[in-house]
Structure 1
Amino acid sequence: MPGEAESAARHPAAARGRRRAFGYGAAAAVCAVFIVVLGVTNPPRDEGVSTDRLGPDTGETVTEYLDRARDSLTGPDNSDRWALVSFTDYETAAALPGRADGTRVSQALYQVPLPRVATPLVSVQVPGSAAALSRSGDDAAWWLADRRRYSAEGTRGAQILDVSIARLRAGCACSPGVVVRAPLPALRELAGRPGIRAVEALPADAVAARYAVAPLLPDTADPIQPRPDDGPVPAG
């Protein structure tokens, strides 16, 4: 594991210290489900207060992000950290308890993968139970169905929501990751498990609900950019 000085020399972005992302208005919350638009959460407005951020930066390469995520797990302290766990492949809701076994999952992330279609990323807040985590895909579909009521028929946005809802209700493999809370030793162990592509931890003093999340999607290509939205929307 490289030292802090070596890491700073190899990764200038990491050397700048804690990364910040500014909030964008009030969060929409229904049944403890929060929408994430273009990878940026919408925390309650608090002028002048910024939030931490988990996930790769636009323009960063996958290798750069993987190195930076690995560096975030270094340190001797044993305090709990909020951390983003990104999977190597999209997972079903039923598979999530096994993927994060031994750690407290606070959010299950969902984004239906469609070629060259920008589908919404949804973060579902989950209590500490495997049953709640296993049904989080249905919760994500419910949230999108509520949002769908405000979309005009026949528009591209409505079509994207329709196919996303249908696939989530069918139990699709649509979860790119989860957010957990655990001490660094547990996070390092989690990062070494099969099926886990990256684990990135926030500093120990990061505040709950004061961080944005944008997971490393399994099908992300270099350099990391927003998902293109110029492909046809499938019927279902």
Structure 2
Amino acid sequence: MAIHSSSNQDDSNKRAMPSYFNLPPLDVSNAFPQATPASVFPPCASDYFQFDDLLTPEEQAVRKKVRECMEKEIAPVMTEYWEKAKFPFQCIPKLAALRLAGGTIKVFFVLLSSFYSQGYGCPGLSILGSAVGTAEVARVDASCSTFILVHSSLAMLTIALCGSEAQKQKYLPSLAQFQTIGCWGLTEPDYGSDASALKTTATKVEGGWILDGQKRWIGNSTFADILVIFARNTSTNQINGYLIFILTFIV
């Protein structure tokens, strides 16, 4: 029986490897010229499921506006940011102009037996209109849609549903314009998104609260201005939400 040493076996394996292992990274555009580049999105040529018939003229206008912006303004630059693993801060003004943040937030009140809506600077979109707009963002870049969903559907909507009137007036208008950025802190290292098992605590002290704990995988958290943090109230043992406004001091 012939016994080969591990070093000899490794040498044999190396000699058997194809030569392309030592080549530079593959240029996909040259290797697969038929593939559509990430920065190019062909126009929708049909409406096979007659989706247009389900949308109001206002919802169709939202979809058209978002689609044009994402295809012309966002798609050409996103590949570069993906390669660098960086966030495209330069795109925030363009995303803000789409008026998707806080899309469905409204407060209704009765005046002279009629309903009026006041949305704290939010666009007052229908649920379908907001969903269609976000889907058009995701069609071009999922990271941008995640950024908007965390900011709008998590942070802003939590403030709108659970915050006091003073908090809504204070925070929602700037969030709706993307003048401030929001994040939503629920997930923790040990229990994930199991809200009933959170370890982060909130203790009432003179002048405010002390939050003590860890969060993980919190979208937008590295650059957010307003943080919605979930923690266990040490006085009641209940899970509450806490708003944190980050002040940046420039020396």
TM-score above 0.5: no
Give 1 or 2 for the bigger CA radius of gyration.
Answer: 2
- TM band (smaller chain): under 0.3
| TM-score w.r.t. length of structure 2 | 0.26
**Looking at both structures, which has the greater relative contact order when contacts are Cα pairs under 8 Å and sequence separation is at least 6?**
1
| TM-score w.r.t. length of structure 1 | 0.27
